Amino acid sequence: MTNQLSPDLTRILVSEVTIQQHVWELAQQISADYAHVERLYVVGVLKGAFIFLADLCRQLTIPHVVDFMALSSYGKAGAVSGAVRLVMDLREPIEGEHVLIVEDIVDKGLTLHYLVEALQGRQPASLKTCALVRKERHHEAISVDYLGFEIPDVWVVGYGLDYAERFRTLPYIAELNPSVYRA
Ligand code: PRP
């Protein structure tokens, strides 16, 4: 088979098959853990989590509802402050709900930290976190309740992750060629 990887990408880090296997395993585990609750309140973090969230939710075997928050973190690629900006909030209150935050990636952990602080203050019945990938260098500092993979500290794209809005809809996670962001 021809290698059709774009020259903008150096290698596939997590294949489509491996992602789907892990998404299924995460969904099984989450479904088992929340089997006793009336419903799970799944909070997807836009934009990056939209593909992971869609695949994960369709594998859940328990009652659940989905809502979204949109956040944007400044300070990418070593720039400025690292602050997180709330772009869009949840539509409904989450008081008394069993909430699961679904993120695509935990990098520095700023976004997840912001979300946990913000949502904990709204009195959910419980609050847990799920991320498809986490950068290895931060694995001790940032705990994630349901985690798919740890990945090296390189710029990754695909399966929701972007570089300047490109590559989000690739079915796999790949390393971005440094020549793209150094250009
Ligand atoms: C990305 C990603 C996570 C966040 C993780 O979002 O989707 O939400 O960064 O980084 P952190 O752990 O260092 O906070 P981004 O701000 O790029 O916005 P996007 O999801 O709209 O692409």
Using DSSP, state whether 10 is helix, strand or coil. strand
Percent of the chain with pLDDT over 90: 81
Q: Is the CB of 144 under 6 A from ligand 1?
A: no
Give the helix ranges, DSSP H, for the chain.
16-33, 50-57, 110-120, 178-182
Q: How far does the centroid of ligand 1 lie from the alpha carbon of residue 49, in Å?
A: 9
Residue 126 lies in a domain: yes
Residue 76 lies in a domain: yes
Q: Is the CB of 97 under 6 A from ligand 1?
A: no
8 Å CB contact between 64 and 42:
yes
Q: Is the CB of 45 under 6 A from ligand 1?
A: yes
Q: What is the pLDDT of residue 140?
A: 64
Amino acid at 96: G
Rounded Cα–Cα distance for residues 4 and 171 (Å): 13
Residue 162 lies in a domain: no
Split into its structural domains, the chain has a count of 1
How far is Cα of residue 14 from the mean position of the Cα atoms in its chain? 14
Q: What is the pLDDT of residue 79?
A: 44
Residue 36 lies in a domain: yes
Task: Read off the pLDDT of residues 5-62 as tens digits, 9 standing for 90 and up.
Answer: 899 999 999 999 999 999 999 999 999 999 999 999 999 999 999 999 999 999 999 9
Q: What is the pLDDT of residue 89?
A: 97
Residue 8 falls in the annotated catalytic set: no
**DSSP state for residue 77 in the 8-state scheme:** G
Residue 167 lies in a domain: no
Q: Is the CB of 114 under 6 A from ligand 1?
A: no
Residue 130 lies in a domain: yes
Residue 11 lies in a domain: no
Tell me the Ramachandran region of residue 114: left when phi exceeds 0, alpha when psi lies from -120 to 50, beta otherwise.
alpha
Residue 119 lies in a domain: yes
Question: What's 87's domain CATH number?
Answer: 3.40.50.2020
Mean pLDDT of 163-180: 95
Q: How far does the centroid of ligand 1 lie from the alpha carbon of residue 10, in Å?
A: 21
87, pLDDT greater than 60? yes
In which domain, by residue range, is 68 found?
A: 16-153
Which residue in the list 8, 107, 145, 153 is annotated as catalytic?
107
Pairing of strands 9-14, 173-176: antiparallel
Q: How far does the centroid of ligand 1 lie from the alpha carbon of residue 47, in Å?
A: 8
Q: What is the pLDDT of residue 152?
A: 93
Structure tokens at 49: 């989590």
Q: What is the pLDDT of residue 2?
A: 47
Other residues' Cβ atoms within 10 Å of the Cβ of residue 121: 8
pLDDT band at 131 (very low <50, low <70, confident <90, very high): very high
8 Å CB contact between 13 and 151:
yes
